[in-house]
């Protein structure tokens, strides 16, 4: 069965420090991969996604993620955290085929705190 | 700007009193989704419409229904809300299914059941 695991429900970094949010997936076929961000009492906003092509994907707000097929990972990074990055981040996968094609399977989320 | 709109943003209802949440989109997307998100949890897909075709997730309670009268609008009906139905309800749209298409989310409706 397909699943998404986000390591760490809470991550805290200092302003200006590297942000690293981990995401691993389990799937027998290559998925499409997404990172979404959710601010309090808001909907989800797409940060970036991987479908095909270059495995290093750049997104909005200075975030990027690298698809590593051998490690079944899609970790999200940002070189320098800003206070406005404090939010919850969800990794998700979807698939091109099958009864659930196109449906997003979410990880449990990682809440990022940024300390001054 | 093209967008996904949800009304109301906050909804208070009484235990057992039917409630309807609405979603509209200006993106002209074929697919509309409804998710339930409880506190500190990931969104959980309830059902989706691909054009007029309704697709219910296997574990979605019968208490939850949906209507899509046209491309732009989709409604979530909760026939007899229980305390456990208090959650954020998110509507999303996508142009098509599969192929890595992006889902665009509305701001959500927070439902409180008294």
Q: Tell me, what's the pLDDT at B100?
A: 80
Residue B38 touches chain A, beta carbons under 8 Å: no
User: What pLDDT sits at residue B2?
Assistant: 64
CB contact under 8 A, B90 and A46: no
- Please give the backbone phi and psi of residue B30, each rounded to the nearest 5 degrees, phi first: -75, -30
Which residues in chain B land under pLDDT 50? none
Which residues contact residue A1 at a Cβ distance below 8 angstroms, ignoring those fewer than 6 apart? A26
Distances (CA, A) of B84 to A46, A103, B15, B107: 28, 24, 10, 21
- Average confidence (pLDDT) over A55-80: 96
Chain A residues inside the 8 Å CB shell of B102: 34, 46, 49
Q: Do A108 and B42 touch (CB under 8 A)?
A: yes
pLDDT of residue B57: 92
Using alpha carbons, select from A48, A69, A73 the residue that is nearest to residue A59.
A48
What pLDDT does A99 receive?
67
Whether residue B48 lies within 8 A of chain A, CB to CB, comes out as yes
B69 touches chain A (CB under 8 A): no
Residue A108 near residue A9 (C-beta atoms within 8 A): yes
Q: Of B79, B78, B72, B86, nearest to B114 (Cα)?
A: B86
Q: Does residue A97 surpass a pLDDT of 90?
A: no
Residue A70 has pLDDT above 70, yes or no: yes
Residues B94/B102, Cβ–Cβ less than 8 Å: yes
Other CB atoms within 10 A of residue B92 CB: 24
pLDDT recorded at residue B19: 97
Give the β-pairing of A32-38 and A44-50: antiparallel
Place of tokens 């997730």: B57
Beta bridge partners of residue B37, listed in sequence order: B88
Asked if the model's pLDDT at residue A100 lies above 80, the reply is no
- pLDDT band (50, 70, 90) for residue A58: very high
């Amino acid at each position: 069965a397909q699943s998404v695991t986000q390591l760490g429900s809470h991550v805290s970094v200092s302003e200006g420090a590297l942000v690293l949010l981990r995401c691993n997936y389990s799937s027998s076929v290559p998925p499409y991969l997404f990172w979404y961000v959710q601010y309090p009492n808001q909907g989800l906003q797409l940060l970036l996604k991987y479908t095909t092509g270059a495995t290093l994907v750049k997104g909005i707000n200075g975030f990027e993620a690298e698809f590593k097929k051998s490690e079944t990972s899609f970790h999200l990074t940002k070189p320098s955290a800003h206070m406005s990055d404090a939010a919850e981040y969800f990794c998700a996968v979807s698939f091109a085929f099958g009864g659930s094609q196109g449906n997003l399977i979410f990880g449990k989320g990682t809440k990022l705190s940024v300390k001054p | 700007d093209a967008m996904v709109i949800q009304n109301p943003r906050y909804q208070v209802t009484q235990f057992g009193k039917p409630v309807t949440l609405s979603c509209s989109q200006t993106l002209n997307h074929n697919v509309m989704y409804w998710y339930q998100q409880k506190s500190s949890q990931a969104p959980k897909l309830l059902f989706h419409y691909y054009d007029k075709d309704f697709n219910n997730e296997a574990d979605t309670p019968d208490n939850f229904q949906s209507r899509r009268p046209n491309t732009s609008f989709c409604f979530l009906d909760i026939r007899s809300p229980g305390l456990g139905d208090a959650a954020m309800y998110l509507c999303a749209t996508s142009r098509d299914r599969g192929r890595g298409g992006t889902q665009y989310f509305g701001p959500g409706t927070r439902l409180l059941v008294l």
